[in-house]
């Protein structure tokens, strides 16, 4: 199989799942759609917690000590959040969603636009910030196979169905984000080879897990955390691990 096959399959499952979700969503009451979204939020929270526990990964602890991992995660979120807010990433992602809504659909009105944008933003972040996205895409590019992305594709297909039942076609538009993010990471794997040690991967996974917590809180309507503004934390995390390992 060729590098990138995992992303191709992932995009296909997102589109199929979103199409089924839209078809099913029109037959469901608003209450039922809310329950579906709540269930997805709870499952996302579970996945997020399991990912965040990578902060205790033996490779990370061995590289920077037992007390530093928490500080690395905290520093990544703080520095990443500052950078993201200065760049207004959340605003820009929502603007992209609004443009796609007006381009790809004929639905008009503030409520429909907001629904489309929310579906696009939430689905894009859920599909592209998890550890499977990073590890799977890099391994696919490195020629190690796309097993992780195939697993992610199955999960994303069901998630897209649940999302689209509540948010509509904005979820299908997130396939474009999947192409850009996973395709880019796969290309990085092809060009650079294996550049991330296990400790760096663990830090990325832990930070990604906390970003998923933010998505879960949004889905559960607890708090509208600007998760997109925190995305630079994924870049900061490996850098802080390298600094901490050097200082140690």
More confident position, 235 or 134? 235
Q: Which two tokens stand for residue 98?
A: 């609004």
pLDDT at 118 over 90: no
- Per-residue pLDDT averaged across 175-196, rounded? 82
| Domain spans, the chain | 5-247
- Per-residue pLDDT averaged across 119-127, rounded? 81
For the four alpha carbons of 184, 230, 232 and 44, in that order, the dihedral sign comes to negative
Alpha helices in the chain (DSSP H): 5-25, 30-52, 58-64, 68-86, 89-104, 110-128, 131-141, 147-167, 170-192, 198-219, 233-247
pLDDT at 8 over 70: yes
Least confident among 80-84, 143-147, 228-232 = 143-147
**What region, left, alpha or beta, does residue 141 occupy, with left being phi > 0 and alpha being psi -120 to 50 degrees?**
alpha
Task: Give the Cα separation of 207 and 48 in Å (integer).
Answer: 10
More confident position, 69 or 22? 69
What DSSP state is assigned to residue 54?
A: G
pLDDT at 144 over 90: no
| Local confidence band at 211 (pLDDT 50, 70, 90 cut-offs) | confident
- Per-residue pLDDT averaged across 99-108, rounded? 60
Task: Give the Cα separation of 19 and 149 in Å (integer).
Answer: 21
User: What pLDDT, on a 0 to 100 scale, did the predictor assign at position 79?
Assistant: 96
Task: Give the Cα separation of 144 and 5 in Å (integer).
Answer: 12
- 203: closest CA among 48, 47, 46, 57? 57
- Residue 229 and residue 89 in contact, taking contact as beta carbons nearer than 8 Å: yes
pLDDT at 105 over 60: no
- Per-residue pLDDT averaged across 195-212, rounded? 84
- Residue 188 and residue 226 in contact, taking contact as beta carbons nearer than 8 Å: no
Q: What is the pLDDT of residues 30-84, one digit of tens each?
A: 787 678 778 878 877 887 888 889 899 999 999 999 889 999 999 999 999 999 9
- Residue 191 and residue 179 in contact, taking contact as beta carbons nearer than 8 Å: no
Q: Dump the DSSP string for 181-243.
A: HHHHHHHHHHHH-S---HHHHHHHHHHHHHHHHHHHHHHTTS----GGGGTTHHHHHHHHHHH
């Amino acid at each position: 199989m060729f590098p990138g096959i995992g992303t191709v399959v992932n995009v296909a499952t997102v589109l199929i799942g979103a199409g089924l979700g839209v078809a099913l969503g029109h037959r469901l009451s608003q209450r039922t759609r809310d329950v579906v979204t709540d269930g997805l939020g709870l499952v996302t929270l579970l996945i997020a917690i399991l990912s965040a526990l990578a902060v205790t990964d033996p490779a990370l602890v061995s590289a920077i000590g037992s007390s530093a991992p928490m500080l690395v995660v905290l520093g990544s979120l703080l520095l990443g959040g500052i950078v993201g807010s200065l760049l207004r990433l959340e605003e820009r992602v929502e603007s992209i969603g609004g443009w796609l809504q007006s381009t790809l659909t004929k639905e008009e009105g503030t409520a429909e636009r907001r629904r489309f944008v929310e579906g696009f933003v939430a689905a894009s972040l859920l599909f592209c910030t998890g550890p499977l996205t990073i590890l799977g895409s890099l391994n696919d590019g490195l020629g190690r196979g796309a097993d992780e992305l195939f697993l992610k594709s199955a999960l994303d297909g069901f998630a897209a169905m649940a999302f689209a039942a509540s948010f509509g076609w904005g979820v299908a538009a997130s396939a474009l984000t999947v192409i850009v993010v996973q395709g880019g990471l796969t290309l990085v794997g092809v060009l650079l080879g294996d550049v991330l040690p296990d400790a760096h991967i663990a830090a990325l996974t832990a930070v990604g897990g906390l970003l998923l917590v933010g998505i879960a809180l949004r889905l559960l309507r607890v708090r509208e955390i600007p998760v997109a503004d925190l995305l630079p934390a994924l870049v900061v995390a490996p850098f802080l691990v390298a600094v901490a390992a050097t200082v140690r």
